[in-house]
Structure 1
Amino acid sequence: MNQDMAGPVAAELTARDVVAVALTWVDNAGVTRMKGVPVARLAHAVKHGVGASPTFDAFLVDDSTLVTRYAGGPVGDLRLRPDLGRLTPLHAQPGWAWAPADRFDLAGRPHPQDCRALVRAQTARLAGRGLRCLAGFEIEWTVSPAGRDDFVPACSGPAYGMTRVVELSDYLRDLTVALTSQRIAVLQIHPEYAAGQFEVSVAAEDPLGAADTAVLTRETVRAVSLRHGLRASFSPKVLAGSVGNGGHLHLSLHRTGTGTGTGTGTGTGTGTGTGNGDGDGDGPGGGTDAGDGLGGTSLMSGGTGPCGLTAAGEAFVAGILGRLPALMALGAPSVASYLRLVPSHWAGAYACWGLENREAAIRLIVGAEGAPGAANVEVKCFDLAANPYLAVGGALAAGLAGLESLEALESPGSPDDPRRAGTAVLPEPVGCDPAGLAGPELARRGIRRLPTGLGEAVAAFEADEVLRDALGIELHATIIAVRRGEIELFAGEDQAEIVARLRWRY
């Protein structure tokens, strides 16, 4: 289909004075890389791809590279093929369009370390069970005057204050126009807690679309910021001692009724769609959750489980919660991520869940009255150093493990896979800041502190067979190598040095 579309799409781009298309992919260090083609070469790129070295899989965040068992070195080539279904003329970069790229080997087979392929595979596994997930990322960033490497807030108003909007109203207006003109459904845009910090929340969509939108939204923020003399940072930590930028992932599970799998529960929820914006990051706030009618029957509400979850919804969330320490290597992958992940800062530093609890790593959002289909969970411990495809793909794999555990429980006599045991049922919800609980109470309730450093997260990720199987041996091993390479890269540096080196890399 892409090939049939290429000619008409190129003609339309030319009519709109677009001269080049940026083909992007996100590497394992969380950096968006690109190759560009003139519009006249778009059809060739769709059919034959654009050459790109596989060594990018082993890039570190500072552009140094590793040579690992499955990636790195000067030998080999891949082909980038643009996904024309997401091709978008860029409002703030006249003459340019953007398309996410899939990576293939020279024989036309999907590259084993292609992250978009990971998301497709996990989505297909859900579809085989008659299930669909909707997802969305919150995007937080801070702005400083352009042309300098230190950070000075570009506005002086208070957290969540209208003063910041008054100070930068033209900027926020132009950003909203740019996003909406690119078919990004903006739910909220507002000042955040930290100095010079803002957030945009966008509508939920299928998991691959959500990751694509996260990339496009960030690059649009970056481009509009520069046009206003500003420099945007999405780093988990912009100033030592201050709160950082989160990249919360929202997920909801729905029954489509078209799969052949079993063990997905018998909840009676009737809502559709899911919300993704809640209007808060590391500081106080609130907002709205809106369904979009795309999901099918919600499995996050209308059930008999805790807080109205159905059996399948509970198992999906329990699977994610049980694997959060390992998932941190995907969703909080920077050494700076653990400078942000501080208790009592609304960053979700404890592996627990709770109803509307902004200190829990997983917050259940039930939606407004009359909109039960808006119910979803927010993974609060993730940030924007993450490759969004890895973050959402890993979360889906963990949720699927929970569903498979439920299937095993519902099938007496079936083999019990020890990797999935105990992941179908949630512990009791936490209705307070877990940092305020005494050690014995934390132990009684099974509440653990999430990894306090990247090394701890990598160790959990390395030991996790479910994530290894989902990502494949090559991608799993390369991610471990990249994470350990970055741990070594910043070894011995204090917080201020780490923050300064990473401030403008994300």
Structure 2
Amino acid sequence: MTKAASAVAKELAAAGVAGVHLAWADNNGIPRSRIVPIGGLAGAAARGVGATSLFAVFDSHDAITYGHSGLATPSGDIRLVPVVERIRRLAGQPALAWAPARQLAADGSPWPYCQRTVLERQLAEAGRRGLEFRAGYELEFTVAPAGRRSEPGHPGPAYSPHALVGLDGFVTALLNDFAANGLEIGQLHAEYGVAQLELSLAATDPLAAADDQLLARQTIHAAAHAHGLAVSFAPLVGLGAAGNGWHLHTSVRRRGRNLLSGQGLPTGEGAAYLGGLLRDLPALTAVTAPSVPSTLRLRPGFFAGAYAFWGVENREAPLRYVPGSKLLGPDHANVELKTSDASANPYLALAVVLAAGMAGIEDDAGLPEPIGADPGGWTEGERETRGVAPLPASPAEQDAALLASPRVSGALGDELLGAFRAVRASDAAWAAERSTEEIVAAHRWRY
């Protein structure tokens, strides 16, 4: 690996790169990084770069909580090791490159709080079961002038090409920089929310999908800065506005066949995969939409998913089944998790989705009939008759749901689960002393 890192460093230095971001995401979904000079890349690949172990217990406001017994003192160091094969020169920041980092213990052994390792563990389990996964993200974000962040960055209308005329330079930079950074965009458009945009990343293997999500953030922020803009990925940027979801699409294969494809509704192991996700949806949401603003975003009528159910192409469903077709082919079939946003660590989000889905296949989890309506317009009695319950609407409810699912909590491991819960408790204590408006405002530019 050191030889490969030396070769990459030499090539990047010749191209004018001065340093490399070693990037990871914490338990709030917030990207963190260390920059190493390009001459130090080979050493970082061999020995890592030091960082405090307390990043695992930073909360969303950069406060450190000592509520987890495994990380209850300021003592301790970890090593950040770049994934050399994933290094990319940043088109929008040409003097810098970027690489995802693994978090290792100080002696180089596995560290139980490394989120990337949690996902790698689930992928290894999938391999043992003969399963392969594909995953891709849709990213929604809000645009504002950098010096006037309270103003919308485009006037709308939603989904209109006219809305983007004033952002032509930014949009062009996104298309060019994504391509140069090795990120494939399916489409980009003005979304429904105020000054909101959305782009979709092409599906790939889950580990690459999580890496790509972090690289996409860096790419978008750099392009926005270069064009006098600021972008917010926060789950909610205003109480009356549609929030920003980072919708997670997954599909599962056995021996090359997409288990979610077929005539009509999914059957067999594909139905069981979807049944596993539905069974653990409250616990999944505690990981995939874990912040206090996440719970505020999950409202009926906003295509966000407020109740636990699934539907076929139903955009109010938190689990939206997207079938294949004669035009698109069977490989297009996938399931979209709408209760997902930028406050989720992408590695943990994918890890728990895979764990719940594989458990569904293992247990042959049942799948009720799909729902084509918005249960938010039903009476409580109608929802109860159809077995539709609200998803957790507070940090306490999310924590209870997480603990109630051994499949989801077990995927995290005891140590990381403890740190994750401590961070969520710290966020909840912070929010308890503030108004809803203050909570939304404080998170608006955190991601």
TM-score using structure 1 length? 0.86
Q: What is the one-letter code of the residue matched to 1:497?
A: E
Equivalent-residue separation in structure 2 for 1:211 and 1:25 (angstroms): 10
Match of 1:30 in 2: 29
Match of 1:455 in 2: 396
Corresponding position: 1:188 with 2:146: no
Equivalent residues in 2 for 1:59-458, closer than 5 Å: 59-67=58-66, 68-148=68-148, 150-256=149-255, 296-302=256-262, 307-370=264-327, 371-406=329-364, 424-458=365-399
**Are the counterparts in 2 of residues 51 and 77 from structure 1 also a CA contact under 8 Å?**
yes
Equivalent-residue separation in structure 1 for 2:368 and 2:336 (angstroms): 17
Stretch moving more, 2-11 or 15-24: 2-11
Corresponding position: 1:500 with 2:441: yes
TM-score using structure 2 length? 0.97
Dislocated runs of 4+, deviation >2 Å = 367-370, 436-441
Equivalent-residue separation in structure 1 for 2:285 and 2:151 (angstroms): 29
Secondary structure, in 3 states, of the residue corresponding to 2:3? helix
**Are the counterparts in 2 of residues 348 and 360 from structure 1 also a CA contact under 8 Å?**
yes
Equivalent-residue separation in structure 2 for 1:154 and 1:471 (angstroms): 38
- Higher RCO (C-alpha under 8 Å, 6+ residues apart): 2
Equivalent-residue separation in structure 1 for 2:196 and 2:81 (angstroms): 35
Match of 1:466 in 2: 407
Equivalent-residue separation in structure 1 for 2:362 and 2:109 (angstroms): 29
Q: What is the one-letter code of the residue matched to 1:43?
A: A
What is the aligned-residue identity percentage? 44
Shift of 1:72: 4.8
Give aligned pairs, total: 445
**Stretches of structure 2 lacking an aligned partner (at least 5 in a row):** none
Q: Deviation digits for residues 64-91 of structure 1, max 9, x if unmatched?
A: 1011212253211111110011100001
Q: What is the one-letter code of the residue matched to 2:87?
A: L
Equivalent-residue separation in structure 2 for 1:383 and 1:367 (angstroms): 25
Q: What is the one-letter code of the residue matched to 2:184?
A: A
**Are the counterparts in 1 of residues 262 and 324 from structure 2 also a CA contact under 8 Å?**
no
**Are the counterparts in 2 of residues 51 and 80 from structure 1 also a CA contact under 8 Å?**
yes
**Are the counterparts in 1 of residues 261 and 324 from structure 2 also a CA contact under 8 Å?**
no
Q: What is the one-letter code of the residue matched to 2:301?
A: S
**Are the counterparts in 1 of residues 236 and 293 from structure 2 also a CA contact under 8 Å?**
yes
Shift of 1:460: 0.9
**Are the counterparts in 1 of residues 234 and 445 from structure 2 also a CA contact under 8 Å?**
yes
Equivalent-residue separation in structure 1 for 2:415 and 2:374 (angstroms): 39
Give me the CA root mean square deviation.
1.2
**Are the counterparts in 1 of residues 194 and 242 from structure 2 also a CA contact under 8 Å?**
no
Equivalent-residue separation in structure 1 for 2:116 and 2:241 (angstroms): 33
Equivalent-residue separation in structure 2 for 1:404 and 1:336 (angstroms): 34
**Stretches of structure 1 lacking an aligned partner (at least 5 in a row):** 257-295, 407-423
**Are the counterparts in 1 of residues 134 and 205 from structure 2 also a CA contact under 8 Å?**
yes
Equivalent-residue separation in structure 1 for 2:324 and 2:201 (angstroms): 16
